[in-house]
């Protein structure tokens, strides 16, 4: 009873896919999606250029499967999907890609064509790259040359500025040094004058002190003479008194 219920819940979808879906790896992508969703069935290319998918699984899983195989990218481009639902047969044990006998030769031819296209694209790309590199190198060389020229002009201009600026500053410094020397000389001359005056004053003071010493000596000598005379007078008076008492 339970097994019959599970069989009834599953559906079969016969799906026709139109668009750029052959020779684009589309069937491999469909098979991988079926494996991920646990869907059983087959996928094969039709002679009309379409792809046919037979898928069995639970209804909600089949709806998700149909959404996932609606692929649009740089290689495969699904334009239309037409599913027809019916009851599941349970004939599939997995999901496989059906490969027909003539597909091997077709695939080899297609691979050769793709290889030719790749080689052509690579050659064209290499030629374009070489041309771009040449143009880039030429432009880079011109920029380097122009940059070197501008740098040389700036360096020369900077050197001229430095020479002019430093020369002016050095000349100014020389003038300041001359002024400094002149000022110092004047100051030393002024000091010489001042010290000369001071030396002269000191000399006069010393000379005056020497004269004063001589005058003092004379005064002392004069006082000593006066003292001697005074002593003589006193001695005479004392002798006279003595004589009178006798």
Q: Give yes or no for residue 107 having a pLDDT over 70.
A: no
Please indicate whether residue 192 or residue 75 has the higher confidence score (pLDDT): 75
pLDDT digits 0-9 by tens, 215-238: 767 877 887 788 788 788 888 888
Q: Give me the mean pLDDT over the 125-134 stretch.
A: 64
Rounded to whole angstroms, how far apart are CA atoms 53 and 44?
Answer: 7
By the 8 A CB rule, do 38 and 57 touch?
yes
pLDDT for 16 equals 98
* Average pLDDT for the chain: 78
Please indicate whether residue 197 or residue 150 has the higher confidence score (pLDDT): 150
Task: Give the pLDDT band (50/70/90) at residue 57.
Answer: very high
Task: Please give the share of the chain, as a percent, with pLDDT higher than 90.
Answer: 35
Contacts for 125 with CB less than 8 Å, ≥ 6 apart: none
Please indicate whether residue 47 or residue 165 has the higher confidence score (pLDDT): 47
Q: Give yes or no for residue 43 having a pLDDT over 80.
A: yes
What is the CATH architecture of 2-99?
2-Layer Sandwich (3.30)
Q: Give me the mean pLDDT over the 43-50 stretch.
A: 96
Task: Please give the share of the chain, as a percent, with pLDDT higher than 70.
Answer: 65
What are the residue numbers of the active site? Answer: 27, 45
Lowest mean pLDDT among 99-103, 136-140, 165-169, 230-234: 165-169
pLDDT for 112 equals 47
pLDDT for 243 equals 78
Model-level pTM greater than 0.85? no
Q: Domain boundaries in the chain? A: 2-99
Other beta carbons less than 10 A from residue 43's beta carbon: 25
By the 8 A CB rule, do 46 and 9 touch?
no
pLDDT for 223 equals 77
Task: Give the pLDDT band (50/70/90) at residue 89.
Answer: very high
């Amino acid at each position: 009873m339970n097994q019959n219920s599970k069989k009834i819940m599953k559906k079969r979808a016969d799906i026709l896919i139109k668009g750029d879906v052959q020779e684009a790896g589309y069937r491999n992508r469909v098979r991988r999606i079926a494996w991920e969703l646990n869907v059983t069935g087959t996928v094969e290319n039709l002679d009309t250029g379409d792809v046919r998918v037979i898928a069995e699984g639970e209804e909600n899983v089949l709806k998700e499967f149909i959404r996932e195989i609606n692929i649009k990218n740089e290689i495969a481009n699904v334009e239309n999907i037409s599913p027809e639902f019916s009851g599941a047969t349970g004939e599939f044990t997995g999901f496989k890609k059906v490969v027909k006998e003539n597909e091997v030769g077709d695939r080899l031819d297609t691979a050769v064509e793709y290889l030719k296209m790749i080689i052509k694209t690579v050659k064209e790309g290499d030629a374009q790259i070489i041309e771009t590199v040449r143009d880039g190198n030429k432009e880079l060389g011109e920029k380097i040359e122009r940059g070197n020229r501008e740098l040389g002009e700036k360096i020369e201009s900077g050197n001229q500025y430095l020479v002019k600026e430093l020369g002016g500053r050095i000349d100014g410094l020389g003038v300041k040094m001359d002024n400094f020397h002149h000022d110092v000389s004047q100051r030393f001359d002024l000091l010489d004058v001042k010290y000369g005056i001071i030396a002269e004053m000191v000399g006069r003071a010393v000379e005056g002190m020497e004269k004063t010493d001589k005058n003092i000596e004379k005064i002392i000598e004069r006082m000593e003479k006066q003292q001697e005379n005074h002593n003589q007078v006193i001695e005479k008076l004392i002798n006279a008194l003595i004589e009178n008492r006798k």
